[in-house]
Chains A and B, each alone.
Chain A
């Protein structure tokens, strides 16, 4: 596990644990009503411990706004002489973009980092931190709303969302009416490989996922050390597109095939795809699109990044997702925090941020077809470009109910125990 020069820390960065199981019960049909009821009762949200709705495309969730956690009033001016405190994945945001914001609003910005969302949640719940802005994932949103760690947004401060962001994110299924979140980055999960070591025509294979089981590349195959991502890959290999499956039969199939994979190719598990592939440590790696875009900066001197390829199902039927930005309830500078969200959604800041971290923002002004021509993405990695239409066909890894999540973990633990 390499230490990322930009992201630092233990290599369990960003999405490594972000799928991390979010507890929560199903209670889908009645949950909305239940939460609304809780919101109006005098009972504190901390005591609402029994169920959470599971947001799905065909079952969108509109989170309640609690009486004791209202949005800020409109028309306030940003706090003066303030220090905006940001809580984010290690090095997931371009410092220069943050500095531009600080200059514009004449404030200071402090960035604190977490390695995974579990760590972040437990620190936030301790109540001793007063961060203003946090970058969560979709699958922990419910927990954060119900335990009132986040505050509802006042849309009047964030005109950039309607102005600049893809329509698909104007009213997302995981947060109807974007009451608590704005989108940050988008990504797909696919296969990356080195053409100088792997002569196979992977996109031309009948089932490209079979490459992970190919004994010729034993010792050079890496999977993402993320139970949801790795297991979803096995499901997709078998044509099972419900990547949030609750079926025991599906999961035992995944378990068998993962054991077979472990036996055949001795895979390594990590989330350092952006360095392992350019450095030649991995020849074939399950990878996130954004990491592949930034991998070009990690190629050893004198080598061309053109040897790196990325495959995502051309029909769009693969794993896709997006990360979020929220204002925390503990915010001491909520107006400035709203301004920050708005700023991050401006085309200029969003594009500048992408030029550094490789992850695409869902901005209208960014024409995915031009990203290659504009030099943001090498032509050989054009498959790493994410289009709005991909979200209609792709599959998101979403929150599971605790029982199902335990089954998923069981399969993963078996696989990892060898």
Chain B
């Protein structure tokens, strides 16, 4: 009887039926418990109602009874005569684009250097690149508060050198501080995929390009850069997605309404009685928006695999 439940593979080894699905089950369970369930909960809250007394969000689990009031409310806040959510949305786009571009501009040469010229020190250099991960994101941002404060080390240094007459107020709602904070916080996530991508390029291809008469710049532009496109895309997706929802960097380094991003609006709504459904609706809309770059990345990866790049 036992035999019937087993199948032999081409090598004649028998596995129970549950063997292969069993291997997939931890991953499937992970996805179910830590992704699908929370996502459905957010959906149920966004289409839910508000408790009349306690004013917290009451999820509606049955999709047939979903209530779209929160989405209509958010659309009114985004567009229309009394809208006010557009400035934070625009700000988020500008800050994230600027921070991603800066991450790329700063991260690419670093990754290139480590991959191509790291030599025996590559291991050490990689460890140094990962080192910031050992300190929590919040602690790193708190460190910047002490460095950039009015009586922080940076201001003290600048004044000591007579470069500025008064301390510079970086932490009082300065968009540049917020963008640089984002860059600092997320740049390791950009460097690592770039390094992985650049490291995989066969040096023989670069030598071939040089042999065929391409100069250093041409070799870079026509061989290295196109071949690292997937790594660039991966790095950009990895840093962009969390930046869109980031509110902590802004809270810590600015705290001013003048630099509020969409993450701050969501954070405020979550903490505001009566606005729980609005917060969930904003999360769903942001998630939908972020699936666009994700789909582009997946399509591009699939295309690259087909073309064997």
Contact = CB atoms under 8 A, between A and B. Distances in A.
Contacts of A49: 51-53
B169 A1 contact: no
Contacts of B88: 417-418
B172 A418 contact: no
A143 interface: yes
Given A268-B173, A270-B255, A23 B53 contact: yes
Interface string A142-157: 0100110000000000
Nearest to B173: A266
Nearest to B150: A280
Contact of A122 (B56, B87, B257): B56
Nearest to A262: B257
A176 interface: no
A116 B56 CA distance: 13
Nearest to A17: B271
A12 B268 CA distance: 11
A115 to B, nearest CB: 9
Interface stretch (A86-94, A100-108, A359-367, A406-414): A406-414
Contacts of B52: 23, 25, 49-50, 402
A262 B169 contact: no
Interface string A88-129: 000000000000000000000000000010100110010000
B291 interface: no
Given A1-B255, A262-B257, A219 B55 contact: no
A73 B150 CA distance: 59
Nearest to B53: A23
Contact of A23 (B55, B85, B142, B173): B55
B193 to A, nearest CB: 32
A20 B273 contact: yes
B284 interface: no
Interface stretch (B217-225, B259-267, B301-309): B259-267
A213 to B, nearest CB: 15
Interface centre among B52, B173, B269, B272 (most CB of A within 10 A): B272
Contact of B273 (A3, A23, A147, A414): A23
Contact of A417 (B169, B172, B257): B257
A318 interface: no
Nearest to B270: A118
Given A220-B169, A268-B173, A281-B171, A125 B54 contact: yes
Interface in A236-282: 262, 266-270, 279-281
Interface string B270-305: 011111000000000000000000000000000000
A24 interface: yes
Contacts of A266: 172-173, 256, 258
B151 interface: yes
A291 interface: no
Contacts of B84: 413-414, 417
Contact of A418 (B151, B171, B258): B258
A220 B255 CA distance: 12
B199 interface: no
A281 B55 contact: no
The winner among A24, A52, A413, A418 for most chain B CB atoms within 10 A is A418
Given A49-B52, A219-B169, A281-B149, A409 B275 contact: yes
A21 interface: yes
B274 A268 contact: no
B172 A219 contact: yes
A275 to B, nearest CB: 11
A88 to B, nearest CB: 19
The 6 closest A-B pairs by CB, nearest first: A219-B172, A23-B55, A418-B257, A266-B173, A21-B273, A219-B169
Interface of A: 1-3, 12, 17, 20-25, 49-50, 52, 116, 118, 121-122, 125, 143, 146-147, 218-220, 225, 262, 266-270, 279-281, 402, 405-406, 409, 413-418
6 contacts: A262-B258, A281-B150, A416-B257, A417-B84, A417-B265, A418-B258
